[in-house]
Structure 1
Amino acid sequence: MNTTDPQQRKNVLVVTAHPDPGSLTASLTGFAVEHLRASGHEVRVSDLYAMKWKAVVDADDFPDHTPGRRLDVMGASERATLSGRLTPDVVAEQEKVLWSDAVVLQFPLWWFSMPAVLKGWFDRVFSAGFAYGPAVPPPYGDGAALAGRRALVSVTAGAREGAFSDRGIHGALPHVLHPVQHGLFWFTGMAPLEPFAVYGANELPEEDFARARQAYAARLDGLFTEEPVAFRSLSGGEYDRGMRLLPGTETPGTTGLDLHVRGVRG
């Protein structure tokens, strides 16, 4: 049964990465897709392992590159993007991103980051001239290349929740995911929500999985209504020409990565 007003129905791209189709990541992906569709949204899925996604950037990505010449990845990427000469697999994923009103990432937290195949999806799909570079609007703000889209990161982690807290040995989860939230999404203009996480994922009892699904459903229901993370805009007058936050802009006592979020005390 659809619960979303027709005028509020959106397009959602779910990008997932886990080699085991029976994994917790796969179960959460399936749950998210079903829940979003039941709410009336259109959903497309990029299951990178199932797709046998090519993760590495190399000269094969740029058909016009001359063999034996130095490969300037950013330059080659921009030329191929602007001339319509990217490989078909990359073009297909870019079309999904442009189609989307929101992107949901579902992945296991491996070595404090995303699986390599997912990083490779960003490396290849977020090409110069498409997601960044001088041919598109400046980064870090709602006027950047992919502005107008929301983003939700959903991760599974083997550690306990306390290990990812403010005093946890792994560091606070928003800090661990800063390269994704700020460096990939906000850099390209996408508005990231606070991340969702399922902890203790290596041995998750059924009752805990049921609670996780309930909590995840609530976050998915808020995909287009939650307030995004209040990252500062590069063009908002809060940074100097060297891209350094102007002194006195932050809430007193704020330090580190929290400096780039309005109203956060470190």
Structure 2
Amino acid sequence: MNISILYGHPYDKSFNKAILQQVTAHLEQRGAAVKVKDLIQLSFDPVLELKDLEAKFTKVLPEDVAKEQEDLLWADALIIISPVWWGGFPAVIKGYIDRVFTTALVRSAEGVYGLEGKRAYSIFTTGSSEDYIRTSRQKDMLYAANDNLFGFAKFADAELKLLYSVPRVTPEERQAMLLEVNQFVDRIFDLKPGEGESTKDSPSHLALVEDLAKH
């Protein structure tokens, strides 16, 4: 099993870093080959520029994008570990997606889905309570973002784990969260592709289906 981890928290003592270390060790213990993409350490440029757009016509990708696409194609599964800031990804992760998930890779002009059948497991931490994240519609928006990216790219699974109120939990509660994270990524091994949650199972999709049924 080849697994790529996308990580973009700048603080080395963050809980996100503890999750990264825990997940990496756990995956390797289960026999996976793991590549960690620490975008801050890599100094990955998240700004989509003219050269990125021109690559659609020249077929010549910027060197950093070509390398990341190569590793993305290598992976059977992609794990994103990220805080939620202002309702979404940090800019470095959003920029990575903008630049690396090119239309030619995700869905070519010939209708080829280059990432079809891969699996995505997103782990997001929040500073707010579950109740606030739900009532403010942030939960819906996070699931929708997960849907839009991995659903369009035809990933077999697109699962999302939210960890709430991280700055205010006790050390014991953090340890419990780390155990939850282990159980979450175990699904990569314990379930076959397509057996986990897909975008059609997400709260945002189910809410949309429910709304459409009323019309």
TM-score under structure 1 length normalisation: 0.71
By relative contact order (CA 8 Å, sep 6+), the higher-ranking structure is 2
Structure 1 unaligned blocks of 5 or more: 1-9, 62-72, 138-143, 233-254
Aligned residue in 1 for 2:32: 41
Q: Residue 54 in 1 paired to residue 45 in 2?
A: yes
Secondary structure in 1 matching 2:200: coil
Secondary structure in 1 matching 2:122: strand
Of 163, 168, 171, which residue of structure 1 is paired with 2:137? Answer: 171
Distance 1:116 1:155, change over 3 A: same
User: Could you tell me whether the CA contact under 8 Å between 1:77 and 1:129 is conserved in 2?
Assistant: no
Question: Structure 2: how far apart are the matches of 1:24 and 1:18?
Answer: 9
Q: How far 1:257 sits from its partner (Å)?
A: 4.0
Question: Structure 2: how far apart are the matches of 1:14 and 1:59?
Answer: 27
Question: Structure 2: how far apart are the matches of 1:210 and 1:261?
Answer: 37
Q: How far 1:256 sits from its partner (Å)?
A: 6.9
Once the two structures are superposed, the pairs formed by residues 108-257 of structure 1 within 5 Å of their partners are: 108-137=83-112, 144-164=113-133, 168-171=134-137, 173=139, 175-224=140-189, 225=191, 227-229=196-198, 231=200, 257=205
Question: Structure 2: how far apart are the matches of 1:97 and 1:60?
Answer: 21
Question: Structure 1: how far apart are the matches of 2:199 and 2:48?
Answer: 32
Post-superposition Cα deviations, 1:134-169, rounded to whole Å, max 9, x if no partner, equal 2333xxxxxx331111001100000112223xxx32
Question: Structure 2: how far apart are the matches of 1:134 and 1:123?
Answer: 18
User: Could you tell me whether the CA contact under 8 Å between 1:129 and 1:136 is conserved in 2?
Assistant: no
Q: Residue 26 in 1 paired to residue 17 in 2?
A: yes
CA RMSD of aligned residues (A): 2.4
Q: How far 1:49 sits from its partner (Å)?
A: 1.0
Post-superposition Cα deviations, 1:99-118, rounded to whole Å, max 9, x if no partner, equal 00100000000111101110
Secondary structure in 2 matching 1:147: coil
Runs (4 or more) in structure 1 with deviation over 6 Å come to none
User: Could you tell me whether the CA contact under 8 Å between 1:181 and 1:192 is conserved in 2?
Assistant: no
Q: How far 1:192 sits from its partner (Å)?
A: 3.5
TM-score under structure 2 length normalisation: 0.87
Distance 1:230 1:108, change over 3 A: closer
Aligned-pair identity (%)? 26
Q: How far 1:202 sits from its partner (Å)?
A: 1.6
Residue identity matched to 1:86: L
Q: How far 1:206 sits from its partner (Å)?
A: 1.0
User: Could you tell me whether the CA contact under 8 Å between 2:124 and 2:163 is conserved in 1?
Assistant: yes
Question: Structure 1: how far apart are the matches of 2:147 and 2:204?
Answer: 13
Of 73, 85, 94, which residue of structure 2 is paired with 1:98? Answer: 73
Question: Structure 2: how far apart are the matches of 1:261 and 1:154?
Answer: 25
User: Could you tell me whether the CA contact under 8 Å between 2:81 and 2:122 is conserved in 1?
Assistant: yes
Question: Structure 2: how far apart are the matches of 1:260 and 1:11?
Answer: 34
Between the two proteins, the alignment pairs up a number of residues equal to 207
Question: Structure 2: how far apart are the matches of 1:125 and 1:46?
Answer: 13
Residue identity matched to 1:157: T
Q: How far 1:227 sits from its partner (Å)?
A: 1.8
Secondary structure in 1 matching 2:135: coil
Distance 1:104 1:129, change over 3 A: same
